[in-house]
């Protein structure tokens, strides 16, 4: 979303920006993983490690609400690689769309002896009580794309408003004023709700006529949105653009447009970016003409660095936002970009190398 997680993220993933949202299969056990992403490398740290990083591994729990698509896999790989570079013993829990399980996972993390807990996406109403318990117990808590009212919690997130605005600016240039448009989104996820606010103001500013709004988040979000969008297009085949502000929603929208053979008439505008998204956007006759996003691997790593700074007493802020960039189909094709590695090379700002860092932190490069 941004994954969003989410991810929604991402829906984050509540969030699940980016949710970021629902998983492919249910995970039942926590796993400890220090291997990280073998494709990532870390720059050397030059400073002296502060407490608690100077004496052995630091125990951190990552409690996730991940979703379908490679956004969440890349986010997790970035987090694992950065944890390894910092000497963090990272235990990962993933509820994969089961809200009750995420609450149970968070309770397990609290009782595991973790010095810090990272909460990646989730519904506030489900996990808020456990976040309160963690903070009262003295555990550092860092959330990604989760709205929480608990004092002392560090909030990290994609800048979802600017992300939506970036792609909607492109949509405005492509469609012009007074266009008839469609909308594919789901309420209740922090990242998607923020993107929704920008959508509403953009619709008003451009005089667009919203013909339909559909969308749902499931454990197969892209597939399950195809019939919803197809049905909407049957009634409103004269729309000229559709905004689907989460990449799994965008994938389903693209398939529906193609199934209705409207790819020459209807343009799709999404959010988030991953290998699969790039392949989708650059495929022959793809109607997905623009997205905006962050690098999920870089975001996962930056969240872990933020957590490390908070543990060391060096963060000195309560929130960290990760800026997004607009990415068009024309840009991808003109640069012959086929994957995230090539996109990172073309857009170095995606690496977030200057976000949440210090001389004692070995930054992971992606």
Mean predicted lDDT score pLDDT of the chain: 88
Which whole number is the average pLDDT over 337-344? 93
What is the DSSP secondary-structure string of 105-169?
HHHHHHTTT-SEEEEESB-HHHHHHHHHHHHHTT-EEEEES-----TTPEEEEE-HHHHHHHHHH
Q: What is the pLDDT of residues 213-261, one digit of tens each?
A: 999 998 899 999 999 999 999 999 999 999 999 999 999 999 999 999 9
CATH superfamily, with its number, for domain 160-293:
Response regulator (3.40.50.2300)
> Residue 20: pLDDT above 90?
no
- How much is the pLDDT for 351? 87
Query: How do strand 325-328 and strand 288-293 relate by DSSP bridges?
Result: antiparallel
Can you read off the two tokens belonging to residue 116?
């810090």
Which whole number is the average pLDDT over 275-293? 96
Percent of the chain with pLDDT over 90: 70
Which whole number is the average pLDDT over 126-143? 97
> Residue 293: pLDDT above 60?
yes
């Amino acid at each position: 979303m941004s994954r969003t997680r989410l991810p929604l993220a991402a829906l984050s993933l509540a969030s699940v920006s980016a949710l970021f949202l629902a998983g492919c299969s249910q995970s039942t056990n926590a796993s400890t993983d220090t291997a990280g992403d073998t494709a990532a490398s870390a720059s050397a740290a030059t400073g002296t490690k502060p407490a608690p990083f100077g004496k052995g591994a630091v125990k951190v729990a990552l409690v996730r609400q991940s979703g379908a698509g490679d956004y969440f896999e890349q986010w997790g790989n970035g987090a694992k690689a950065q944890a390894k570079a910092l000497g963090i013993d990272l235990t990962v829990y993933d509820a994969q769309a089961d809200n009750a399980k995420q609450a149970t996972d968070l309770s397990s993390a609290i009782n595991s002896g973790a010095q810090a807990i990272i909460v990646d996406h989730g519904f506030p109403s489900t996990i808020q009580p456990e976040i309160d318990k963690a903070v009262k117990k003295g555990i550092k808590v860092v959330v990604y794309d989760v709205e929480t009212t608990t004092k002392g919690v560090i909030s990290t997130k994609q800048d979802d408003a600017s992300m939506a605005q970036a792609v909607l600016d492109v949509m405005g240039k492509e469609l012009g004023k007074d266009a008839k448009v469609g909308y594919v989104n789901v309420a209740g996820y922090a990242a998607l709700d923020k993107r929704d606010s920008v959508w509403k103001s953009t619709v008003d500013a451009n005089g667009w006529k919203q013909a339909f709004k559909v969308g749902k988040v499931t454990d197969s979000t892209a597939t399950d949105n195809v019939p919803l969008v197809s049905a909407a297009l049957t009634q409103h085949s004269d729309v000229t653009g559709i905004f689907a502000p989460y990449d799994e929603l965008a994938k389903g929208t693209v398939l529906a447009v193609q199934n209705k053979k409207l790819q020459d008439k209807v343009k799709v505008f999404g959010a988030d970016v991953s290998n699969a998204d790039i392949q989708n956007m650059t495929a022959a006759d793809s109607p997905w003409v623009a997205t905006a996003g962050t690098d999920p691997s870089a975001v996962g790593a930056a969240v872990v660095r933020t957590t490390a700074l908070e543990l060391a007493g060096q963060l000195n802020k309560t929130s960290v936002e990760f800026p997004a960039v607009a990415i068009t189909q024309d840009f991808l094709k003109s640069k012959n970009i086929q994957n995230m590695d090539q996109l990172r090379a073309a857009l170095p700002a995606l690496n977030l190398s200057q976000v949440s860092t210090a001389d004692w932190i070995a930054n992971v490069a992606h």
